Amino acid sequence: MKINHRFTILFPILAIVLAIPVSVWAGGGGGQFMSAGYYALVVETGLVIGAIFLGWLVKEKMGIHIPKLIQFPILWVMCYVALRVILQPPIPFSLLAMYMGVCTICIFLYCSLTVDSWRDFSHPIAVMLREDHTKAKLSRYATFLIVPGLIAAQTFNQMLPKFGEPIELRTVHPAPPASINVHKKLVTLQTAENPFRIGDDGNYLKVGEESKYFGQNAWADDAPKFLQQVREGGQVFFGTAGCFFCHGDNLDGKGPFSFAFNPIPANFADPGTISQLQETFVFWRVAKGGPDLSREAFPWASAMPPWEKHLVTNEIWKVIIFEYWHTGFYPRTWE
């Protein structure tokens, strides 16, 4: 069967078009079966092979000659797109700059490797510069205006003073102290336990065992002891302390005052906050609030009150029980 070679070009194009959303999807964490980095590598390799195949098809099978001068920007843009958009997760800018430098040199070498390819590359430029027929004239005028014009515009942009918000990197969960003094009692954070982690039998409830209470009605008349503590913790969260003004009705950090604060209130519903922390860490944060944070966590900007001034120790422990129950997370443990 004779294949019309002018249509075979569609295959690599199709492959590249398909590869872009797939790799973006993989980079977005959708690739469950292999890591995003590895997946991106596979896609990259496929793209390179596809591009070579495409070039071969165009030249050998379709008989279309693309001058090296045109190939140069096409290849350069392809490299840029591959490194900037397709490669996921995104690489740092300095790395991108380095890769693009290497790519530029490689493409230039490719274009100037032989005398013929070099002529192919430079001849159009020479024609543009010196010939006097209409086509050359027009392209000369355009080049002479557009190239300096764009660079001048870019210079202007660079020189225009910019006044953005300063970038200040804040550590969200700084290292806790070994122990804290709350209401004249020393609490050692490594060993302290939440006194309200109590099961139906009155014994200490190990982390993870409380899951049987998740989603249960804490307001039922016959609620077990643990759920009663949850309810009291909720009454502190919503009533006595008013935590919801910042941390929100769903504990997602979107309370009515959250829009006004920066840093924004912690989102307990996010798997990156209380589920990554020990209960005693949360106790430290609640009891001592923003002012006790270390320097890298910006104590001067945190609106978290030192709750030891407003709540009793037991209320703090209960509100912590409530936060884990409401979000369905377990605290982190040493085990």
Partner 1 sequence: MTLAKIISKFNGKILIGGKLKMLGSKNKTNTLGVEKVLGLGLLTLSIFGFVPGFGGIAIADDEGPKGVMSVAPAPLEPKPGTYKPKQESGAEIEAGKGVYFRKCVWCHGPDGAGDGPSAIRLATKPRNFNQGTFKIRHTGSGELPTDEDLFNSVTHGLQGSVMPPWGSILSAEERRNVIAFIKKNLVKDRTFDDPDEEITVIDYGTQIPSSPESIEMGKDIFMNKAKCVECHGVEGRGNGNLTQRDDWGFPIFPANLQLPWNLRGNRRDPYNPRNIFREVSTGLNGTPMPSFRDELSVEERWHVANFVISLTEVKRPLDPETGKPAIGFVIKSRFVEDGTVPDSPTDEKWLAVPAQIVGMASQIIQPPRHFLRTVETIYVRSLYSESEVALLFEWDDRTESLRDENKEAIYDFKRLSSDSFPAINTTQYTHENDTALGPLKDVNPEPVGVYNDGIAIQFGQKWETIPPPKKWYFVHGDEKDGVDIWKWQSDGTVEEIEGHGISDLQVREDKNVKVTYAKWEHGMWRVIMKRSLLTEDKEKSAQLQTGTNIPITFFAWDGDAGEVGGRMALSTFYYLMMEPPIPASTYVVPPIVFMVLFGCLCWARIAAINYKKDHSDDED
x-marked contacts with partner 1 along 85-104 as a string, rule CB under 8 A: --------x--xx--xx--x
Residue ranges in 163-202 that form contacts with partner 1 under rule CB under 8 A? 163-166, 168, 170, 182-184
| Partners of 198 in beta bridges | 204
User: 86-91: long-range contacts (C-beta < 8 A, 24 or more apart)?
Assistant: 86/19, 86/20, 86/23, 86/24, 86/40, 86/43, 86/44, 86/47, 87/23, 87/40, 87/44, 88/23, 88/24, 88/26, 88/27, 88/28, 88/36, 88/40, 89/27, 89/36, 89/37, 89/40
Our finding on whether 139 is near partner 1 (CB under 8 A) is no
**Interface with partner 1 by CB under 8 A: which range of 8-16, 51-59, 246-254, 274-282?**
246-254
Min dist CB 151 to partner 1, Å, is 5
Residue ranges in 58-77 that form contacts with partner 1 under rule CB under 8 A? 69, 72-73, 76
H helix runs in 92-177, sequence order: 93-111, 115-130, 134-159
Token pair, residue 91, equals 């690489």
Token pair, residue 93, equals 């800018």
Residue ranges in 34-63 that form contacts with partner 1 under rule CB under 8 A? none
Residue ranges in 5-34 that form contacts with partner 1 under rule CB under 8 A? none
Q: Select the residue interacting with partner 1 from 17, 106, 151, 175 (CB under 8 A).
A: 151
Our finding on whether 240 is near partner 1 (CB under 8 A) is yes
Site of tokens 């040493």: 334
Min dist CB 33 to partner 1, Å, is 27
Min dist CB 143 to partner 1, Å, is 7
Our finding on whether 162 is near partner 1 (CB under 8 A) is yes
Helix, strand or coil for residue 329? coil
Q: Select the residue interacting with partner 1 from 139, 250, 330, 332 (CB under 8 A).
A: 250
Our finding on whether 257 is near partner 1 (CB under 8 A) is yes
